Amino acid sequence: MADLTAREALDVFRTMQGKFLRPLERLPQALETAIQIIEHDLPAAKREWESLTGLIQTLREDTPKVQAAQAEAKQRMTNVQRQANEAEAAAQIRIQEAEGRAKQREAALDQQYDDKQVAHEAKYNAAAAMLGDEIRSLEETRDRLQQEVTGLRNKFAAF
């Protein structure tokens, strides 16, 4: 610095002033803003922080309860689903059994109908045969009686 001229020394001084002193001119305003933040905004932020910290603590305390309730709800849902599946399977079995019984009953009724139809046909055929025999017998009796009547007419016609 000893080799500097007055002009150079003045330039160095101005440079130093620009780097170091000018920022210090705004220092009181920056400190005032910092004080205002510390005095006004910091207490509100601390209160909010404490509130949030309390809320977080409460949530942390409630987390096991919520997890237990969630696990219980999942277990109930699983049980209900299992019971519904079992009930559905049991209902399917009952439906199949009922269908089986219905088919057996239908087959039995069909067999009874067929048996009755065969019995009625047999009775009809027997009755028809008996009536046919009776009709032939009556026709034979009629023919014999007509012959006798004709014979008697012929016999009495001669008198």
Domain count, the chain: 1
Residue 1, in any domain of the structure:
no
Residue 54, in any domain of the structure:
yes
- Measured from the Cβ of residue 118, the count of other Cβ atoms closer than 10 Å reads 10
Residue 158, in any domain of the structure:
no
CA 37 centroid distance within chain: 60
pLDDT at site 22: 67
pLDDT at site 23: 67
pLDDT tens readout for residues 32-86: 887 887 778 878 888 888 888 988 898 888 889 889 999 999 999 999 999 999 9
Question: Of residues 152 and 108, which shows the higher confidence score?
Answer: 108
- Provide the 8-state DSSP code for 2: T
Residue 157, in any domain of the structure:
no
Residue 59, in any domain of the structure:
yes
Q: What single string gives the DSSP state of each residue in 21-85?
A: IHHHHTHHHHHHHHHHIIIIIHHHHHHHHHHHHHHHHHHHHHHHHHHHHHHHHHHHHHHHHHHHH
Nearest partner of 80 among 88, 69, 68, 91, judged by Cα? 88
Residue 10, in any domain of the structure:
yes
**Domain around 55:** 6-152
Residue 88, in any domain of the structure:
yes
Burial 128-141 (b: 16+ CB within 10 A, else e): eeeeeeeeeeeeee
pLDDT tier, 101 (very low <50, low <70, confident <90, very high otherwise): very high
pTM: 0.42
Residue 21, in any domain of the structure:
yes
Q: Which amino acid type is present at position 64?
A: P
